[in-house]
Amino acid sequence: NSLSNTKNIRAPQAWRTRVPEELYPTTWVTELTIDCLERYARDPDRPFFIQCGYTDPHHPFTPPGKYWDMYDPKDIPVPVSLGAQHTDPPPFIRHLKTMLEDGTAIRDYVHPYAVDEVEAQQSIALTYGMTTMVDDGIGRLLAKLDDLGLSENTVVIYTSDHGDVMGDHGVMLKHGLHTEGVIRMPFIWTDPQAKGGMRTDLLSSAIDFTPSILGRAGLQPFSGVQGVDIVSAARNSFKPDRAGIIIEADELPENVNVEKFFRVRSFVDGRWRMTLWVDDDFGEMYDRKNDPHELDNLWNNTQHKETKSRLLELMLKEQYRYSELMPRPIYMG
């Protein structure tokens, strides 16, 4: 395997850690969670809530032991958008690529950076290794639930806080970018009471996590909570009153390697993704049905001005829908 010799690694933030598998954070979190499950199992009538937070997959790319060279970078498909022609890309992406070309890129910190094909393949292969280790840890947790007789009375949710660019458009990490890889994240809900064979196309985001979990626990959400109980909505074939999803990012200069603070706001309605670079007077608009890799920015395309106006209006209304209303006005009950 090409990763067996660390000298072959060109990807930034990638090295073979000396930390063994049994001491790696993924193992530690798994064993802490198993310990919690065993303690709660002693009192079967007591409900419990455990948040098991794995730090991986995440940069730096350092999966331990067998997970380091589990996947060969040569077998990893190069992201379609890496090196592809991008019509009117965001200035931030151009900035990252310019720094790579002129040798000024800083690629050992938290902010995004540009990569070539080999670096992207190596980074993805190592991320697969980290992901597989997490998957193995979750397998241990599910097996422990079975062993303790808790499987038929426990809801298991698998999710994350965000995705990753992961080589799309020749960039790594996530800050300041709302590409599909960053804004799409898993939300797997395993429930003994769930009915299989159902499909839904309802739009959901992280603001729905709290009301969904509280609803499943039979608890009322607190006053002013944003989001909806999407689990109940899916079960009852009910679509929430929303035109799309709002995605927000406020970026500190040190997180994105730029001189000034900037804000990014996006609106996604399923087919379209529209992004406003608030401080740069720049916009993006992609028809993800016909352009799934988000390469043709239609923001300034006059043939789509009506769609642009419609999306801007919907985004504005959705933004106001989630405006802060706490303390809640008494006339709203």
pLDDT digits (tens, 9 = 90+) for 130-182: 999 999 999 999 999 999 999 999 999 999 999 999 999 999 999 889 999 99
pLDDT of residue 1: 46
Mean of all residue pLDDT scores within the chain:
91
How long a stretch of residues is the chain? Answer: 333
pLDDT of residue 241: 85
CB 120 within 8 A of CB 312: no
pLDDT digits (tens, 9 = 90+) for 102-112: 999 989 988 89
pLDDT digits (tens, 9 = 90+) for 220-234: 887 778 889 998 888
Phi and psi at 87, nearest 5°, equal: -75, 115
* Prediction pTM value: 0.91
Q: Given the structure tokens 């419609």, which residue do they identify? A: 310
pLDDT surpasses 90 at 289: yes
Sheet bearing 245-251, strands edge to edge: 245-251, 262-268, 272-277, 282-287
Burial of 243 (0-12, 13-18, 19+ CB in 10 A): middle
pLDDT surpasses 90 at 214: yes
Helix (H) or strand (E) holding 189: strand 187-190
Of the pLDDT bands very low, low, confident and very high (cuts 50, 70, 90), residue 2 is very low
Give dist(CA 271, CA 151) in Å, integer: 37
Domains and CATH numbers, the chain: 1-192 (3.40.720.10), 242-323 (3.30.1120.10)
For residue 321, what are the β-bridge partners?
none
- Angle at which helices 25-41 and 117-147 pack, to 10 degrees? 20
pLDDT digits (tens, 9 = 90+) for 16-66: 999 999 999 999 999 999 999 999 999 989 999 999 999 999 999 999 999
For residue 249, give the 3-state DSSP assignment. Answer: strand
